[in-house]
Amino acid sequence: MAAVFALSILALAGGVHAAFPDCANGPLANNTVCDATATPIERATALIDLFTLEEKLNNTGNTSPGVPRLGLPAYQWWQEGLHGVASSPGVNFAASGPFSYATSFPEPILMSAAFDDALIHQVGLTVGTEGRAFNNFNRSGLDFWTPNINAFRDPRWGRGQETPGEDTFHLQSYVYNLLTGLEGGVEPQYKQVIATCKHYAGYDIEDWEGNVRYGFDALISLQDLSEFYTPQFKTCARDAVVGSFMCSYNAVNGVPSCANSYFLQTLLREHWNWTSDYQYVTSDCDAVQNIYEPHYYAPTRQQAVADALNAGTDTDCGTYYPEYLPSAYAQGLFNISVLDRALIRQYAGLVKLGYFDPAESVSYRALTWANVSTPGAEELAYTAAVEGITLLKNDGTLPLSPSYKTLALIGPWANATTQMQGNYAGIAPYLHSPLYAAQQLGFTVNYAAGPGVDDPTTSSFPAALAAANASEVIIFAGGIDDTVEAEAMDRYTITYPGVQLDFIDQLSQMGKPLIVLQMGGGQVDDSELLSNPDVNALIWGGYPGQDGGTALMDIIVGNAAPAGRLPVTQYPAEYVYQVPMTDMALRPGPTNPGRTYKWYTGTPVVEFGYGLHYTNFSATLGAEKNCDSYDISTLVEGCLSYSYLDLCPFASFAVNVTNTGSSVTSDYVTLLFLKGEFGPAPYPNKALVAYDRLHAIAPSSSQTTTLNLTLGSLSRVDGYGNAVLYPGSYTLVLDVDSKATLTFELTGLESVIDYWPQP
């Protein structure tokens, strides 16, 4: 094996590297594009000036043929890397050996449950590093169309698993740390890869009762647009300075997103100052075509491509640009300067990636096979799964006593392998199922597939019940599988599918310890399991990635302690009958019980931020500077040196957490919420304003963290979309069970700290 490994490395060392332009001896050698002292826009402009009109038009799609006469290689702009380098048009996995796999992390919805920004940064750094390594050996491009940063508004959405959850503050923190990992920092000299924030904006419907994403018109108020649907995109553009955006399929208030100059120019490039010369907008795939049909926004195909290009969509994922821009240009529907602008933005991005620089001057281009799924990356994938897995119920059965020797592992997820990856996945180096992990721990395992995810029959019951009868402990691994719906399909119910609940009920009557693993990216109604005293423990395992089975079993036996928190609300089953998916409003109304933990007026089955531990914790909350009252005008005047008032510091709060248990060392997530009746009614129930994850708090020991609030933390959004500081009484609440509270006043006149551009 060692000899084979050595030969593989030698083969790669002398093998095919990425198809970069030859700036030393090729046709571009004396062009400004190869001059490392020039700016990216100067270099890209010099390149585009060499293109003929036909060459310009040919290179507007995601599959760019390049310009052979200039030594400019063909380039594929479409790579995926949602939770690891993923199968996509631009990623070419080898049949075996090096580059035949990449680290496969959990789906974002599970990683976000860790509430660990440092972890997310490391995941981003690893995915970006592996993407760069793939590129160095001509197995991928450098533009990765990830992350999906839409908020998980409705539990029926088929792609919610791809997102970090429902809370916009959490999404903003998550995406900032992920992007600075993926790209190698905020505006570094060279980007590691270019990431893409998608889908901008108001996209969270696939196909629900005939409302299809390609033609859906999302009706969104300015208040909701500012408060919920775009803050994470603001962070992408203004704060993380991401290299790319993707406009979405849907329209918002009558205008398709990829033809929406209000989105792509007024908000994105002007209000959020996304003005670096190497940033481009790509369409979602065939979204430009959808401007013509089924949106029927443009009367002709030529007008559709012109509308998108003029609005600021620089790249077409599809064929509409190369096919119809020539005739649109002939009709005078856009100026050549607009076409040049789009191409310059794209190729300036490649400049920023070191595409036109010598390999020795770009450290990322020195990466070798060893940077793909290293032992450190594999450990990180395991840690990400452990940290996100969330304990929803436990009567003391977990962690399992070492006296148990035989397990029944039953259910459609009990032997899951690729299923654990979810969607937008690549080829993993290994896939450790719960069954595999239980066997590795030395258990005698009686395995039965049991009822499938959507199996309506009881034909599998006898064999599965026999496995349970022969075992001391029963583990049922079930729930939904969002990849069955996922892209292009939404769900209609949020209950356990098929006959799973009936089967679990039979298992619960056997008088044996029963642990249920609720898998999948979304949440289903766990009411029956939570109320059944014979269901001893309930764990949400999501899509835990390549080492998910090991992570789950380690938590079950106590090799690891659970500390994840739900990043979404678990609604009762009847929620889906109370509000249509097409109602984009967040606040409660006559036909809407409210959305997310901020606005939901019903009683959640499990609330946002909930998660149990194997030990107990107490906590205290205190301000670093004791002050009961703050004058709004004084706060604002003290922040005038800040370019963005919402980022100006307000106050810091110390949280001291003590593990009051006697035997288990555990992580703990500090969640700080803000409550108060101020600003436009109806008021949110509460809002997350800060969090941190403390690691390995030993029994009878304490750790302290400092949570920092900004003026933006205190603001609320008015009917025009403006962020406003309002006078009133503010209460900080620590954790979902209110371990500690702190109240202060804002006095004086209300003050706008961010004016939302009006359409």
Same domain, 658 and 562: no
Q: Is 589 domain-assigned?
A: no
Q: Is the pLDDT of residue 484 over 60?
A: no
Comparing CA positions, the residue from 280, 265, 296, 276 lying closest to residue 59 is: 280
Q: Is the pLDDT of residue 608 over 70?
A: yes
Q: Is 759 domain-assigned?
A: no
| DSSP per position, 603-625 | --SB-TT--B-SS-EEEEEEESS
Residue 486 confidence class, pLDDT cut points 50, 70, 90: low
DSSP label at residue 537:
E
Query: What whole-number distance in Å separates Cα of residue 667 and Cα of residue 130?
Result: 29
Domain endpoint, select from 332, 347, 371: 371
Q: Is 439 domain-assigned?
A: yes
Q: Is 590 domain-assigned?
A: no
Is pLDDT larger for residue 116 or for residue 98?
116
Q: Is 529 domain-assigned?
A: yes
Q: Is the pLDDT of residue 17 over 70?
A: no
Q: Is the pLDDT of residue 652 over 50?
A: yes
CATH of the domain at 403: 3.40.50.1700
pLDDT of 276: 77
pLDDT of 18: 65
Same domain, 71 and 183: yes
What's the rounded mean pLDDT across residues 595-612? 98
CATH of the domain at 308: 3.20.20.300
CATH of the domain at 700: 2.60.40.10
Per-residue model confidence as pLDDT tens digits over 60-71: 999 999 999 999
Q: Is the pLDDT of residue 14 over 90?
A: no
* Sheet (strand 702-710) strand order: 617-623, 649-659, 702-710
Same domain, 244 and 115: yes
Range of the domain at 677: 617-754
Domain endpoint, select from 519, 554, 577: 577
Alpha carbon separation from 624 to 5, 595, 650, 703, 734 (Å, rounded): 56, 34, 11, 16, 16
Same domain, 326 and 382: no
State the total domains in the chain. Answer: 3
Residue 4 confidence class, pLDDT cut points 50, 70, 90: very low
What's the rounded mean pLDDT across residues 653-682? 97
pLDDT of 439: 98
3 state SS of 94:
coil
Query: What whole-number distance in Å separates Cα of residue 352 and Cα of residue 59?
Result: 19
Sign of CA dihedral 365, 369, 375, 380: positive
Q: What number of other Cβ atoms are within 10 A of residue 589's Cβ?
A: 12
Q: What is the mean pLDDT of the chain?
A: 95
Per-residue model confidence as pLDDT tens digits over 374-387: 999 999 999 999 99
Per-residue model confidence as pLDDT tens digits over 702-754: 999 999 999 999 999 999 999 999 999 999 999 999 999 999 999 999 999 99
Per-residue model confidence as pLDDT tens digits over 304-324: 999 999 999 999 999 999 999
Same domain, 364 and 382: no
Same domain, 693 and 560: no
89: preceding bond cis by omega (within 30 degrees):
no
pLDDT of 453: 84
pLDDT of 485: 46
Is pLDDT larger for residue 268 or for residue 369?
268
Residue 257 confidence class, pLDDT cut points 50, 70, 90: very high
For 279, half-sphere exposure in the C-beta direction (CA atoms, 13 angstrom radius) is 25
Q: Is 17 domain-assigned?
A: no
Q: Is 115 domain-assigned?
A: yes
244 conformational bin, left if phi > 0, alpha if psi -120 to 50, beta if neither: beta
Same domain, 388 and 364: no
Same domain, 357 and 392: no
**Catalytic one of 116, 154, 224, 284:** 284
| DSSP per position, 384-431 | HHHHH-EEEEESS-PSPPTT--EEEEESTTTT-SGGGG-SS----S--
Residue 7 confidence class, pLDDT cut points 50, 70, 90: very low
- Write the burial class of residue 290 (CB in 10 Å: 0-12 exposed, 13-18 middle, 19+ buried): buried
Same domain, 361 and 388: no
Query: What whole-number distance in Å separates Cα of residue 47 and Cα of residue 99?
Result: 32
Active site annotation includes 284: yes
Per-residue model confidence as pLDDT tens digits over 496-509: 999 999 999 999 99
pLDDT of 320: 97
Comparing CA positions, the residue from 658, 671, 654 lying closest to residue 607 is: 671
757: preceding bond cis by omega (within 30 degrees):
no
DSSP label at residue 522:
S
Per-residue model confidence as pLDDT tens digits over 321-333: 999 999 999 999 9
Same domain, 290 and 429: no
pLDDT of 10: 30
Q: Is the pLDDT of residue 12 over 60?
A: no
Alpha carbon separation from 547 to 140, 369, 385, 434 (Å, rounded): 25, 21, 8, 9
Q: Is 266 domain-assigned?
A: yes
Same domain, 299 and 431: no
Domain endpoint, select from 525, 548, 577: 577
Same domain, 555 and 624: no
Residue 369 confidence class, pLDDT cut points 50, 70, 90: confident
pLDDT of 205: 96
Q: Is the pLDDT of residue 177 over 60?
A: yes
What's the rounded mean pLDDT across residues 173-190? 96
Q: Is the pLDDT of residue 367 over 90?
A: no
Alpha carbon separation from 588 to 67, 166, 525, 593 (Å, rounded): 55, 16, 21, 5
User: Which of 4-8, 261-265, 344-348, 598-602 is predicted with the least confidence, judged by mean pLDDT?
Assistant: 4-8
* CA triple 490-169-648, angle to 5 deg: 155
